[in-house]
Amino acid sequence: MSFKQEFLTALQTGKDDRALMEIVRRHFGSEEAGRDAYEALEQLWRDLGFQESDESSPLRNELEYVMERVWYYGANAG
């Protein structure tokens, strides 16, 4: 399963941030891959249409939390 499919499925089924970060680590575990991980998450954010509004939702909040962790701490963030 691709990163995007696995992450989106987990996100939509209500997995918590720890489970979501585990998916990021599996797919982008090296330190060099932190930027790639963030770019993949950002593309998913755009695919879900979140750039078009500021409306909060549990799905958006989880995704943005994981994006923030990856941005500041890399793909191996705990």
How many structural domains is the chain composed of?
1
For residue 78, is it within any domain? no
Domain of residue 35: give its range.
3-73
| 42-64 mean pLDDT | 95
Burial class (CB in 10 A: 0-12, 13-18, 19+), 71: middle
Residue 71's φ and ψ, nearest 5 degrees, are -60, -45
Looking at residue 57, its pLDDT comes to 94
Looking at residue 31, its pLDDT comes to 64
Confidence category of residue 67, pLDDT binned at 50, 70, 90: very high
For residue 27, is it within any domain? yes
